[in-house]
A and B are shown apart, each in its own frame.
Chain A
Amino acid sequence: MNRQQLTGWGRTAPSFATVVRPSSDEEVARWLGEAPVIARGLGRSYGDAAQVAGGVVLDNSGLRGMGPISPDGVVTVGAGLSLDEIITTALPQGWFVPVTPGTRQVSVGGAIAADVHGKNHHRDGSFGDHVLEMHLVTPTGERTVSPTVDPDLFWATLGGMGLTGVVTRVTLRLIRVTSDRVLVDTDRFDTLDEVMAAMVSGDDDYRYSVAWVDCMTRGKSMGRAILTRGEHLDDSSADAPRAPRPARLAVPFSAPPGLLNPLSIRLFNEAWFRKAPRQRRGEIQSLGAFFHPLDGVADWNRLYGPRGFVQYQFAVSDAHADTVVEAISRLSASGVPSFLAVLKRFGPGNSGPLSFPIAGWTLALDLPVGPSRLPGVLDDLDDLVVGAGGRVYLAKDARLRPDRLRAMYPRLDHFLEVARRVDPEGRLVSDLSRRLNLR
């Protein structure tokens, strides 16, 4: 028994729980006899989703194993495997993960619990859209679910934040690549309107697309942005693709409070913006540099100091694109410091009642905890987002007001019904589910 203090990636709201590392379905099932209990992967969700104060946390890293990759890219993996481990094995054989978030350091179980998306959502959907089948251990028994076998439970689990059971094995379809490189086009825009117009008109031509937006400038250059879009480089003549390198830098300890302040963030944003070319076509980048730039620095979350940070990510439909503009102008006016924000287009969402993406726009902002007006600014943004029929991403959330959840996820009651069916006693609990009254 190992009692540990846990937080999410944002390093806020810590709590203590007993952490165990089951390595088989039977062990997971045995631990589900305890309550409250929740699974945890690599702890990359920002808030309190993978911790449960006073309960049992199932570290899924013992659920390993990777089967052979079939000729059409289908593979079965243990839910504790990280995308990094899958890429390391699969890439030299010419396969890549169908969806990757901004870090490779997420477990497959975590990717399912959050139904993560990547720079290709507008084309390829979220992680769950590439899952063919998964094996789930619930408090009422084991189940193998798929879009055709118990689809309600399958979809509720995608984005279900671990509250429908513990995913132990997953069958998914990888994508074919012929190189470990990406062909990247970069464009710099002086205003938010320009970058959004460019994304609406041009994103369909690229498999991957994401824009970094500066939320710290006001007036004319408010929302200036750098748009990077790319495709896998097709180069069968080159050597076999090689897996990305592990992090070479690390932040060894928590930074002093206030390292990231309005001034230092403004300077960083300025430098980031200036180093980008006005326009560059056909640059060749490594997969790691393109998809996971932050993975180059281990534990970068420590830069935010002892009080940690929150990420605010919301999605709205195209009809409410003005919400993105309004959110950025409010943040820029409030002076709450934010690192470069990430703006992306979403394709249609899937059937997961708690899956985050909806067709349109998503904006993600990293905000250090500290400024006393920040909680209020974010509460007001929630109202704005709800008013626009949008939602925030639970994998990032650490502060949403519980009564906003139902407005953001209209199929919440369906989710709760499915969760109650497999877990009638409410054993699966996280600090997030308590905070949002999710059970």
Chain B
Amino acid sequence: MDNAFAQPQTVVVLGGSSDIARAIVRKLCAERARTVVLAGRDATLLERAGEEARDFGATSTPVILFDALDPSNAGTTIDRCFEAAGGQVDLVIVALGLLGQQSHDESDVAATLAMMNVNFTWPVAALTRVRSHLLDQGRGRILVLSSVASVRVRASAYLYGGAKAGLDRLCQGMADSLRGTGVSLQLVRPGVVRTRMTEGLSPAPFTTGVNEVADVVMKGLADSRAVIWSPPILRYVFAVLRHLPGVLWRMVMDRAN
């Protein structure tokens, strides 16, 4: 159960080996999280994430394997996660994602489909099921990792940004639809974060580490903020960037790369 400070005890993480998710889980476990269901693709990485969670206070870290390339398994995967949690789930973190390699993927239909499945279709199918479970519970929270890349989609990463944009907007609507139900959905829009996913990318402005993101997320969770920007200043940076005329936007983005 969440307590008065909205500190969850039972957490399900979709994409449990993601660096950002692991950083959030470490902090949740340092507070009250005891059962952390880690769902993802790579058993070894998930086991390692589980050990880490237990080091920080978790007592149970079941691992659920699934393949996000196939959205048809999303419903059963969520059912298995809720069963493994063994009771009410306080928080579901949707953290799976695939950055891909735009220069290759943009001319490969199969790769494009993979990008959409992992970043959009699978998460949306999963959210449908998560939503039903939480509504049945009468409470619960969903935290979806979006990206600032979804705010205005860039030429150099339009597959990733476009898929995240779809997820982000859909979640905004879902969040509004959940008002007054006891279930809530919060979005996280991190800027560039130093993780395995972004290894080798040239450094961008406002790049942060995973722990900084996790700190911002913890505060956003406690405050029930609808959209959590990390670092928070990006909210204002993107308030400007999203309205720039196209020619200026492209100039800024060219320079940023």
Interfacial residues, chain A to chain B (CB-CB below 8 A): 3, 5, 10, 12-17, 47-48, 53-55, 308, 310, 369, 372, 374-375, 398-402, 431-432, 434-435
Question: How far is it, in angstroms, between the C-alpha of A358 and the C-alpha of B139 when the chains are bound?
Answer: 35
Most chain A beta-carbon contacts within 10 A, residue among B9, B34, B87, B88? B88
Q: Using Cβ atoms and an 8 Å threshold, which residues of chain B touch A54?
A: 88, 136-139
- In the bound assembly, the distance between CA atoms of A372 and B138 in angstroms comes to 27
> 9 A-B Cβ contacts within 8 A?
A5-B182, A12-B5, A13-B2, A15-B139, A16-B139, A48-B3, A53-B88, A310-B4, A369-B5
How far, in whole Å, are A398 and B32 apart by their CA atoms in the complex? Answer: 13
Q: Which of A3, A14, A372 interacts with B219 by CB under 8 Å?
A: A372
Contact present for A13 and B4 (CB under 8 Å): yes
Check A435–B181 contact: CB distance below 8 A.
Answer: no
The distance from the CB of A304 to the nearest CB of chain B, in whole angstroms, is 11
Q: Which residues of A contact B181 (CB under 8 A)?
A: 16
- List 4 A-B pairs, minimum CB-CB distance, nearest first: A398-B4, A12-B4, A16-B138, A435-B1
Q: In the complex, given contacts A15-B139, A372-B219, what are 16 additional A-B residue pairs having Cβ atoms less than 8 angstroms apart?
A: A5-B182, A12-B5, A13-B2, A13-B6, A47-B4, A48-B1, A53-B138, A53-B139, A53-B182, A54-B136, A369-B4, A375-B5, A375-B7, A375-B31, A399-B5, A434-B87
A376 shortest CB reach to chain B, Å = 9
With a CB–CB cut-off of 8 A, which chain B residues contact A374?
5
Kindly provide the distance from the CB of B137 to the nearest chain A CB, expressed in whole angstroms: 5
* Known A5-B182, A401-B32: A13·B1 in contact at CB below 8 Å: yes
| A399 to B182 Cα, complex, angstroms | 19
Which residue on B lies nearest to A374, using beta carbons?
Answer: B5
Residues of B within 8 A of A17 (CB): 138
Contacts known (A16-B138, A53-B137, A372-B222); A431 close to B1, Cβ less than 8 A: yes
- Please report the C-alpha to C-alpha distance between residue A432 and residue B138 in the assembled complex, in whole angstroms: 15
In the assembled complex, which residues on chain A have CB atoms less than 8 Å from the CB atom of B138?
A: 3, 15-17, 53-55
| Nearest neighbor of B181 in chain A, beta-carbon distance | A16
In the complex, which residue of chain B has the Cβ closest to the Cβ of A48? B1
Q: Chain A contacts of B136 at CB under 8 A?
A: 54
Q: Within the assembled complex, what's the spacing in Å between the Cα atoms of A374 and B139?
A: 24
Residue of B137, B180, B182 ringed by the most chain A CB atoms within 10 A: B182
Closest B residue by C-beta to A52: B138
A350 → chain B closest CB, angstroms:
28
Partner of A16, one of B9, B182, B219: B182
Q: Range of interface residues on chain B?
A: 20 to 34
The answer to whether A15 touches B182 (Cβ under 8 A) is: yes
C-alpha gap A25/B136 in the complex (Å): 28
Residue of A nearest to B3 (CB): A399
Taking the nearest CB of chain B, how far is it from the CB of A425, in angstroms? 15
Give the distance in Å from the alpha carbon of A436 to the alpha carbon of B1 in the complex. 8
In the complex, what residue of chain A is closest to B32 when comparing beta carbons?
A401
Closest to B136 in A: A54
A434 touching B7, Cβ below 8 Å: no
Complexed CA–CA distance, A47 and B2 (Å): 11
- Give B1-17 as 1s and 0s: 1 = Cβ < 8 Å from A's Cβ atoms: 11111110100000000
The residue on A at minimum CB distance from B218 is: A372
Contacts of B139 in A (CB 8 A): 14-16, 53-54
List the B side residues contacting A375 at CB < 8 Å. Answer: 5, 7, 31
In the complex, what residues of B have CB within 8 A of residue A398's CB?
3-4
CA distance A369 to B1 in the complex (A): 17
In the assembly, what is the distance between CA of A53 and CA of B134, in Å?
A: 10
Q: What separation, in Å, do the CA atoms of A3 and B6 have in the docked complex?
A: 22
Query: With A53-B138, A54-B136 known to touch, is A308 a contact of B88 (CB < 8 Å)?
Result: no
Bound: A343/B2 CA distance, A: 29
Contacting pair A308 B182 (CB below 8 A): no
B184–chain A nearest beta-carbon distance, Å: 10
Q: In the bound complex, how far is the Cα of B183 from the Cα of A16, in angstroms?
A: 9
Distance to closest chain B CB from A379 (angstroms): 9
Q: Which residues of B contact A400 (CB under 8 A)?
A: 3
A residues within 8 A CB of B222?
372
- Bound CA span A402–B35, Å: 13
Interfacial chain A residues near B88, Cβ < 8 Å: 53-54, 434
Shortest beta-carbon distance from A140 to chain B in Å: 23
Please determine whether B4 and A308 come into contact, CB atoms closer than 8 angstroms: yes
Are A435 and B182 within 8 A (Cβ)? no
Nearest to B30 among chain A residues (CB) is A376
Measured between beta carbons, the chain B residues less than 8 angstroms from A14 are 139, 182
What's the minimum C-beta distance from B1 to chain A, rounded to whole angstroms? Answer: 4
User: Chain A residues with Cβ under 8 A from B4's Cβ?
Assistant: 10, 12-13, 47, 308, 310, 369, 398-399
> In the bound complex, what is the Cα–Cα distance between A308 and B3 (angstroms)?
12
Which residues in window 218-249 of B have CB below 8 A to A?
Answer: 219, 222
How far is it, in angstroms, between the C-alpha of A13 and the C-alpha of B140 when the chains are bound? 10
A434: nearest chain-B partner, CB-CB: B1
Separation of A402 and B137 alpha carbons in the complex (Å): 21
Distance between A199 CB and nearest chain B CB, rounded to angstroms: 30
Tell me the bound Cα distance from A372 to B6 in angstroms.
Answer: 12
Of all chain B residues, the one with the shortest Cβ separation from A376 is: B31
Shortest distance from the beta carbon of A212 to any chain B beta carbon, whole Å: 23
User: In the docked arrangement, what's the CA distance between A17 and B34, Å?
Assistant: 25
CB contact list, B130-157 vs A, under 8 A: 136-139
Q: Which residue of A lies closest to B7 (CB)?
A: A375
A216 to B35, CA, bound (A): 37
Assembled-state Cα–Cα distance A356/B88 (Å): 28
A433–B9 alpha-carbon span in the complex (Å): 13
Chain A residues with Cβ below 8 Å from B9 are 402, 435
Q: A15–B9 Cα gap in the complex (Å)?
A: 15
The docked-state distance in angstroms from the alpha carbon of A5 to that of B135 is 12
The residue in chain B whose Cβ has the minimal distance to the Cβ of A378 is B5
Per-residue CB contact flags for chain B residues 200-217 toward chain A (1 = under 8 Å, else 0) read 000000000000000000
Say how far A434's CB is from chain B's closest CB, in angstroms: 5
Task: State A17–B1 Cα separation when bound (angstroms).
Answer: 15
Assembly CA distance A429 to B32 (angstroms): 20
Q: How far is the CB of A259 from chain B (nearest CB, A)?
A: 17
- Most central of B1, B2, B9, B182 by chain A CB within 10 Å: B1
Task: Pick from B4, B136, B137 the residue with the most CB of A within 10 Å.
Answer: B4
